[in-house]
Amino acid sequence: MLGSFLGIAVSKNSMMTSYIFTFAILLAVMTNVCHFYYMRRPQKPDFWGCWGPFLLMCLATVCILTSPLKNLVVNVCMQSFRENGFDHTIETTLDLAYMPVFATKPLQAYTALAYVFMFWSTSMQVDIYGKMVASILKFKGTSKSEAGCEGGS
């Protein structure tokens, strides 16, 4: 019942607009984060420490944009078919969009992988591991009474 109601309440134009805005906003946000990570790289001596956050964020961008791009491409092709009829370009594009690598389960895996890459990239960018180690070493260097761990009141 609810599905049929939603199908009636939402027009095809508003659905197309939502696909366009979803893709555009994700693209803008993710590329801006990539640019930020590129311009403000961690000052580490090794390649991975310096370029890792940027490269991981670029991978996350590609992974997270795959699903919205597929939705957008399929809907643009279907809209073009309704308005202009059959075209070989539409056939080729839909054949690519419906390859097994773009099925529902792989797209969900790409999205999950994108979140893993984003978390990993952000933790490298802010050097969370180094800060945690420094905090633990600082805590171990203090006595229990200084750390507020003594018993009683």
pLDDT tens, residue order, the chain (153 aa):
444 555 555 677 888 888 899 999 999 999 999 999 999 999 999 999 999 999 999 999 999 999 999 999 999 999 989 888 888 999 999 999 999 999 999 999 999 999 999 999 999 999 999 899 999 998 888 655 554 444 444
> How much is the pTM?
0.78
Residue 63 lies in a domain: yes
Range of the domain at 25: 13-140
Largest CA distance in the chain: 81
Task: Give 76-82's long-range contacts (Cβ < 8 A, gap of 24+).
Answer: 76/16, 79/12, 79/16
Cβ(72)–Cβ(59) below 8 Å: no
**Residue 21 to residue 32: CA distance in whole angstroms:** 16
What's the structural domain count of the chain? 1
DSSP letters of 111-146? HHHHHHHHHHHHHHHTTHHHHHHHHHHHHHHS-TTT
Residue 92 lies in a domain: yes
